[in-house]
Structure 1
Amino acid sequence: MVISTHRLGLAAFMKMQGCSLEKFENRRFFFATEKTLTDWEIEYSNSCCYRHDLELCELRKLYPTSPRG
């Protein structure tokens, strides 16, 4: 089956786990997989990758909002 997500972290996790990226359209990633989207979301939320993404987002808040120079 093909499932889709707009979540970049989840998409990266799925690709890292071997899912085949079928297409990217309208800011959505489409993957060929035997698991449901819910199964992937649970697996991702229990992984160290999810924790990494949360920490990355927290650190991003420290960056100034002005363009980098």
Structure 2
Amino acid sequence: MSRIEGRKPTNLSLDAALVSRARESQVNLSRAAEEGIRAALRARSREDWRKDNAEALESSNSFAAQSGLPLAGFRRF
């Protein structure tokens, strides 16, 4: 998501007390909402990646548990 794309006016329904506190604290609601949405999208992306790669991760972990780490002999710690 690029900031170059511009901004789009959007209506949101938010908790009235939360909006009041944000305004009292001079929080920019649009920017705060954008940051929250970006954080939610990052979290969803990470979760989707984990689900999409669960089989490969389990296979790799199983191999390491049974055979040890492939380069363990080169460790200096």
TM-score (normalised: structure 2):
0.31
Q: Which has the larger radius of gyration?
A: 2
Quick check: which one's helix share is greater?
2
Higher relative contact order, chain-length normalized (CA < 8 Å, sep 6+):
1
